[in-house]
Amino acid sequence: MSASCGAVIWMTGLSGAGKSTLADTLHRRLKDAGRASVVLDGDALRRGLTADLGFTPEDRAENLRRVAHVAALFMQQGFIVIAAVISPEHGHRRMAREIVGAGFVEVFVNAPLTVCESRDVKGLYARARRGEIPHFTGISGPFEVPLAPDVMIETDRVSVEEAVDRLLVPLIAMGCLPGESGLGKPRLAK
């Protein structure tokens, strides 16, 4: 295992799919195991680093370009970066992969729209359906389902812990985390 092995776990999916929950849980597991990690949450970044941007297609692309560059900087310092960002278009994710380079892991956090809406404590989907939020991904804005993600997690079908175990597998394969008997079974405490 390389102590300086960096990686970017790039989680894409609709609002309410479970990206932030998975990101926070993975971060805690990595921290408990003594691995340096950082969460780049799209909602938090929009309150600071990208607060000057809206949700037009151009602003979304710029938002994700900035996130990818920050992720790449952390990764180069040996961090495991967990980016929880909607990144709704194929081009956005391709751009992020190109910026980050080796160590980029695209994760499709997949949940049906009805499930995402049922999890929406902020009422964003209802507001989008009333036309109050333009360009809302999945309602009035596009979401292009990833064609070949490195990992897909259906959050309406697996537990958070099982999902996080799946996220550890590519990190083990890259040598960023230890594995057991070459089976890819994580040795990190739950």
Residue 71 belongs to domain with CATH number = 3.40.50.300
CA 141 to chain centre: 19
20 is in an annotated binding site: yes
Q: What is the pLDDT of residues 4-52, one digit of tens each?
A: 689 999 999 999 999 999 999 999 999 988 899 999 998 888 888 888 9
> What's the sign of the alpha-carbon dihedral 27, 13, 147, 144?
negative
Could you list the residue range(s) of the whole structural domain that residue 117 is in? 7-176
Our CA angle for 157, 116, 85, nearest 5°, is: 95
| Longest Cα separation, the chain | 54
Q: How confident is the model at residue 141 (pLDDT cuts 50, 70, 90)?
A: confident
Does a structural domain hold residue 2? no
Q: Is there a domain that residue 166 lies in?
A: yes
pLDDT given at position 135? 84
Number of domains in the chain: 1
Is there a binding annotation on residue 4?
no
Residue with tokens 């709704």: 88
- 14: annotated binding-site residue? yes
Predicted confidence (pLDDT) at residue 126 exceeds the cutoff of 50 = yes
Q: What is the set of active-site residues?
A: 87
